[in-house]
Structure 1
Amino acid sequence: MTAPRVPAPLIDAALVCAALADTWANVAPDNRVGLACALPAAVALLLRRHLPVAALALTLSAALVTDAVLAPLIALYALAATTRSRPLILAGAAAFTACYMLPWPPPAIDRMDHTTALIDFAYSLAMAAAPAFLGQLVQARRDLSLRLAEITEAREHERLLIAQTVLAKERAQLAREMHDVVSHQVSLIAVRAGALQVGTHDPETKEAATTIRRLCVRTLDELRHMVSVLRASGSLPTDLTPQPTIAELRQLVDYSGIETELDLDLPDDLPPPLQRAVYRTVQEALTNVRKHAPGATAAVRVQHAGGAVLTTVTNTAPTRPTLALPSARHGLIGLRQRAELLGGTLTTGPTPEGGYRLQLRLPVD
């Protein structure tokens, strides 16, 4: 808890009164010259805040003709506490030393005592050095306080940045969880509801499945919006979930473990949602070939024709027995829903040669 600051006018009044009291104690009433110098010097202290050099110059006359030196000492302290010019402070201290050491009017040369003059010089110099050093000390303390305040503010700003960074990481983690877990689960619910909607003949069940699927789609839209907000305030979306593109199809085909022929003829400016849909479709189709047609070869053809992107994945008949593998059987349904969301169609079916064909058609607009 800081102490309350004393008002500046009250300090000025107290210093002027102290200088007047010093004049009353050290200047005789009949010394008109001394009073003419000491009284204005006390009033000149009011200028020390804004005009410290002028205040010191107006008070030096009191030190020259009288012993009332409180006013010039206060003015010298104010000069040392406000200015950053060391030569100016030294000049002020030297001027006070000269005015205080040399009496006025000056004595005759033969009456001067060198020993006394040396003592007076040392005493005057010490008297001038005290307020000068004190003023410099107060100035250094004030600068140190300002520096500490700046350091405190910088640390507070750094702490705020660290807190924002932690919050951004938490938001990014939350976005990942929502994208990878919540959205996936809601998508499965939508897929199951769509399957129930298509497979049932009961009107009430069909209506309930339709409602569930509609709510799931709406929830997914809201989740996508929330994830985009979290990503915008956390980190870049590309840092959260890698988004596949058409350029990665070659790597997908090479690492599929299936002898696959790839025919790719697409423009470079294909919208990202279409690129992801094509990639996921080819990925799911090759997965199904690997699971349900062991030993088969595949052909992937992606072309742009008639204002649409046509993706066709065809595989030959299996050459080895099919193994029973666990499957949720939601892959094709999910691809069909993705196609519908983009305004396209997905068709699948066996080929006359005993293989299987999957065809995705997406409008470019």
Structure 2
Amino acid sequence: MDAALVLVALADAWVHVDPGQRAAMSCALLAALALTVRRRLPLTTFVLTLPTALVSDAVVAPTVALYTLASLSRRRVLPACCALAYAITDFLPWPWSSMETDDLARTSGLVHLGYTLAAAAAPVFLGRLVQARRELSLRLAEISEAREHERLLTAQSVLATERAQLAREMHDVVSHQVSLIAVQAGALQVGGPDAETRQAAAAIRRLSVQTLDELRHMVGVLRASGSRPTELTPQPSLADLQRLVDGSGLDAKLDPDLPADLPPTVQRAVYRTVQEALTNARKHAPGASAAIRIQRTHDTVRTTVTNTAPTRPALPLPSAHHGLAGLRQRAALLGGTLSAGPTEDGGYRLSLDLPLDHEG
């Protein structure tokens, strides 16, 4: 595309510039070659193409440069000022001493000025439209990713609940009954009337103990529900926080001095709290940065996740509003508290306080 635009600009210079006019031809060639860096240096490219509009009728290079500047610049005033400068430059004759001052010339000059203003405004409007379309595409991609992430979290939550229910049933019912079988078999092994009965009771007891061991292992696997429905991985801990922060898609900083030797349940609660806070910051505060701090006192662990104000408006996303409620329930089960709310600078802060001596 860039090579094609350079060729079109050179063709425009060849048609509208007399080869005998060295100054005009030099400006036209410089403007055409400047288009090769229009994406990296849009303002510099426009400045280099502006003299072409003054000394010649070649307008392809400055028009393309103005469009590129408008499509890449985040500021609205700069493209408008550049468009006005282009219109004035294209309107003024060269040399300036050839400007006519009679009534007819002023009337035709006003018409020419209106035409140049329209010609300068067109690439700016087109560039802004392309920029808006590009940003909308990025927002749609972010929404799709957020929805997919939310669906994954929902599936993980449902799976974890089902596994926890199954683990409780196996622990409370099946394991209890197998334990009774093992106890009765042990009693029969000791007080059996004959050797054959005692041998059968010993076999029953041995198989019951093996079954209990397998059941305990299965209950442990079911309780340690992993991050994906098809995986059986251990529950996360503080050692996994840095990987979570790096993969959050935010400019997030984690306090490097993490407390050591915390109970596994506390570590899991801290991890899930940070995970939910980063997810909410990504959904509701686009462009914000986050800071995660974990402090340990004598008998309490405080986790604080603070994000700054968003740098661009957030689009409304579907949400079940269960994230904070689930965190509060988890904190209550561990004897702790969870608080969340906006900060004075427009950001958001989530704090979790958990005791270390809670028994649950």
TM-score (norm 1): 0.59
The partner residue of 2:101 within 101, 104, 110 is 110
- Aligned-pair CA distance for 1:109: 4.7
Indicate the residue corresponding to 2:39 in structure 1. 49
| Counterpart for residue 294 of structure 1 | none
Partner of 2:195: 203
1:66 corresponding residue in structure 2 = 56
Distance 2:186 2:99 in 1: 121
Alignment pair present for 1:188 and 2:169: no
Give 1:194 deviation, angstroms. Answer: 2.4
Q: Aligned letter for 2:59?
A: V
Question: What is the distance in 2 between the residues matched to 1:72 and 1:111?
Answer: 30
SS of equivalent residue, structure 1 residue 233: coil
Distance, in Å, in 2 between the alignment partners of 1:224 and 1:41 is 77
Runs of 4+ in structure 1 off by over 4 angstroms are none
Aligned to 2:94, what secondary structure does the other structure show?
Answer: coil
- The whole-number CA distance in structure 1 between the counterparts of 2:39 and 2:74 is 14
Spell out, residue by residue over 1:147-173, the C-alpha distance to the aligned partner (whole angstroms, 9 max, x if none): 111111111110110010011011012
1:88 alignment counterpart: 78
Change (3 A) 1:108 1:132: closer
Amino acid at match of 2:69: L
- 1:1-365 pair list within 5 angstroms: 11-106=1-96, 107-111=98-102, 113-233=105-225
After superposition, the Cα gap between the structure-2 partners of 1:110 and 1:30, relative to the gap in structure 1 and judged at 3 Å, is: same
- Runs of 5+ consecutive residues of structure 1 not aligned to the other structure: 1-10, 235-365
CA distance in 1, matches of 2:102, 2:213: 106
Over the matched positions of the two proteins, sequence identity in percent amounts to: 64
Distance 2:148 2:16 in 1: 54
* Cα drift, residue 111 of structure 1: 4.7
Task: Report Cα offsets for 1:324-358 as digits up to 9, x if no partner.
Answer: xxxxxxxxxxxxxxxxxxxxxxxxxxxxxxxxxxx
Cα distance in 2 between the residues matched to 1:108 and 1:173: 89
Q: How far 1:29 moved relative to its partner?
A: 2.5
Change (3 A) 1:80 1:44: same
My pick for the range that moved more, 53-62 or 210-219, is: 210-219
Question: Is the 8 Å Cα contact of residues 16 and 57 (structure 2) preserved in structure 1?
Answer: yes
Distance 1:69 1:127 in 2: 10
The letter of the residue matching 1:156 is E
Residues 93, 99 of structure 2: 8 Å contact kept: no
Per the TM alignment, residue 178 of structure 1 is displaced from its structure 2 partner at its CA by 0.9
Gaps of 5+ in 2: 227-360
Asked if the contact 2:17/2:25 (under 8 Å) is kept, the reply is yes
**Could you tell me how far 1:108 is from its partner in structure 2?**
4.2
1:57: how far off?
0.5
Amino acid at match of 2:115: Y
2:272 is matched with: none
SS at match of 2:93: coil
- Give distance in 1, aligned partners of 2:99 and 2:123: 32
Larger radius of gyration: 1
Residues 42-76 of structure 1: per-residue CA shift (max 9 Å, x gap)? 11111211111110011011100111000000000
Match of 2:314 in 1: none
How far has the Cα of 1:138 moved from its partner? 0.7
The separation in 2 between residues aligned to 1:152 and 1:58, in whole angstroms, is: 41
C-alpha displacement of 1:214: 2.0
Compute the TM-score of the two structures, normalised by the length of structure 2: 0.59
Q: Distance in 1 between matches of 2:122 and 2:74?
A: 17
Task: State the shift of 1:122 in Å.
Answer: 0.7
CA contact (8 A) 2:86 2:120 kept: yes
Question: Is contact 2:28-2:58 (8 Å) kept?
Answer: yes
Aligned residues: 224
- Following the alignment from structure 2 to structure 1, what is the Cα–Cα distance between the partners of residues 69 and 99? 34
AA aligned to 1:194 is G
Shift of 1:189: 2.1
Q: How far apart, in 1, do the equivalents of 2:74 and 2:118 lie?
A: 21
Tell me which amino acid in the other structure corresponds to 2:205.
R
Rounded Cα–Cα distance in structure 1 between residues aligned with 2:220 and 2:2 = 63
Separation in 2, partners of 1:98, 1:185 = 93
In 1, the alpha carbon distance for the partners of 2:74 and 2:215 equals: 62
Q: Distance in 2 between matches of 1:227 and 1:13?
A: 65
